Chains A and B, each alone.
Chain A
Amino acid sequence: MEFKEKFVEKILLLIAFSSITILALIAFFIFGEGIPLIWKIGPKSFLLGERWVPSQGSFGILPMIVGSFWVTFGALLLGIPLGLACAIFLCEWTPPSIGMILRSAIQVLAGIPSVIYGFWGLVVLVPLVRNFLGGPGLSILSGSLVLSIMILPTIISISEDSLKALPPSYKAGSLALGATHWQTIWRVLIPAARSGIVASIILGMGRALGETMAMIMILGNAVKMPSSFLDSARTLTTNIGIEMGYASGEHRQALFATGVILFFIIMILNSLAIILSRRRVS
């Protein structure tokens, strides 16, 4: 019996390390494929090169990095106020019935497959942008709009949790001093829940940077430096998603190298979010 207990505990410990093992394997294999190429052509010309012509062996991913950040920035511009407003609505101002509808709407949004978002963007938003604002329609603007909806569930659920975790005395104290409900929310509750809200934004940013299929369908995928929100663009993820199907040799290594850069950016964002949400707990 004693032996069995010890044995079970060891097995569970082993299982518990599965996530870390997977993470290590991911890093090992993607770096193994990608790093040699980055060294070969030099990190500087890989990261800052503006030409991506795999057939001629020139691999510069600056347009993709810039594209990724434009799209993500656009998504956050709309996603943050919308998400924060919904979170406030859910924990401060909601009549229970509407709150429940909004909550299930958010769950449904989280459950809609990303290809369907992409398709919806393609058949609804892209023509709208093309007709009213000009340009090809397949653009950063359309992509950002769709992404801002896709990251809403992440932003809303985590900000809501951090608002709900505040001690009730904060609100009671502020109201007792004569502040209005809105002043309480804006000057007391939101600043107090700051680190959780920032964590939710960072995780939303990670989701936006990582989205692939929807962006392939909406962004138009041109490899050039974007100069306006109506330009077509390519992101780090879509670069991998489009070309992985037929790439081989050095070209494929270059796609893995793109993955290495993406992995780095996401790991930095994740670590930041985790550290911030820990501070909230303690």
Chain B
Amino acid sequence: MKIRQTRYLTQMVAKILIWIAAFFTMAVMALIIFQVLSEGLPVLSPGFFLETPRSMGREGGILSPIIGTIALTVVAIIVATPLGIGTAIFLWEYTREGRISRIIRFGIGCLAGVPSIIFGLFGFVFFVIYLNMGWSILSGGLALAAMILPTVICTTEEALKAIPYSFREVSYSLGGTKWQTVTRAVLPNALPGIFTGIILGICRSIEETAVVILTAGSSLIIPTSLFSPVRTMSVHFYILAREGISMEMAYGTGATLIILVLLVNTIANWLLNRYIRHRA
């Protein structure tokens, strides 16, 4: 009888501790978001988004960091998407699990774990100096593309895995070649999943600071070409907060960043849910 009671007591204690841990995690998330939004939302106004920063960011808005963020993200996505989708198609549709796929997967796994500051160092010495692109949208975008590649590959592969094998069999039985099967039967159906991967890549590019600061510079001037240096919102936020230039502007930029990331995440989730329901 004694033993029986102890083990149910242990279970009770464990259960309570685990509930506390779960609520603690949710509370921390809420606290961080609340802190930034409560101070940052009052700063937001149409002018904040439409004016360029003046006197190092003390006044004005964040137009040029917004443009910088968009430009870098677009370059990163344009480069990473074909490479990511191509890799996933090769791994899932064109090869069996063997030595080659093991090597490739190992490379992807390692790349996914490389810290962003290393991508920054690499982008700096390779794109900025060796290829002589300077601190620019192109250097920053390419370095970001290298960083988000594993995300795009993994999500695309998951999307391909979710397509039932019968889709391929039907295509083959109609005389379709492998490439026709992939492009006409598999890819169109995997599209929502692939979009999710791209959106997650966008999210990571928006958040990133260390890579961008070393490869795209931190200019506040509105860029005119792919070779112009830019500052992204994350870098702008970092500089404002760390150098104590303006807490008000920092909170405004931070709130914009959080809203943007939440929005992009929600879209990705919505797509994913719709997609899973669609499959099931």
Contacts and interface: CB of A to CB of B under 8 A. Distances in A.
A binds B: yes
Interface of A: 1, 4-5, 8-9, 11-13, 15-20, 22-23, 25-26, 29-30, 32-33, 81-82, 85-86, 88-89, 93-94, 98, 101-102, 104-109, 111-120, 122-124, 149, 152, 180-183, 185-186, 203, 206, 209-213, 216-217, 237, 240-241, 244-245, 255-256, 259, 262-263, 266-267, 269-271, 273-274
B66 to A, nearest CB: 15
16 contacts: A5-B177, A13-B94, A15-B87, A18-B87, A29-B130, A85-B21, A101-B26, A102-B25, A112-B207, A115-B209, A182-B11, A186-B14, A211-B115, A212-B115, A212-B210, A274-B109
Contact of A20 (B35, B103, B177): B103
Residues of B contacting A: mostly: helix
Interface string B239-280: 001100000001000100110011011000100000000000
Contact of B89 (A12, A106, A269): A12
A8 B182 CA distance: 11
Given A113-B207, A115-B234, 5 more contacts: A30-B121, A112-B258, A116-B32, A206-B115, A210-B117
Interface stretch (B49-57, B146-154, B184-192): B146-154
A256 B7 contact: no
B124 interface: yes
Contact of A22 (B94, B103, B149): B149
Nearest to B264: A111
A114 B241 contact: no
B121 A18 contact: no
Contacts of B87: 15-16, 18-19
Interface in B59-96: 82-83, 86-87, 89-91, 94
Interface string B198-215: 000001001111100110
B209 A271 contact: no
B124 A8 contact: no
B172 interface: no
Which of A116, A181, A217 is packed against the most chain B CB atoms within 10 Å?
Answer: A116
Nearest to B93: A12
A115 B126 contact: no
B210 A111 contact: no
A181 B117 contact: no
Closest 9 CB pairs of A and B: A210-B115, A15-B86, A85-B21, A20-B107, A182-B11, A113-B207, A16-B90, A270-B113, A12-B90
B22 A86 contact: yes
Contact of A212 (B104, B113, B116): B116
Given A16-B91, A182-B15, A259 B261 contact: no
A26 B118 contact: yes
Nearest to B102: A278
B155 to A, nearest CB: 13
Nearest to A149: B28
B227 interface: no
A11 B182 CA distance: 14
Interface string B129-159: 0100000000000000010011001000000
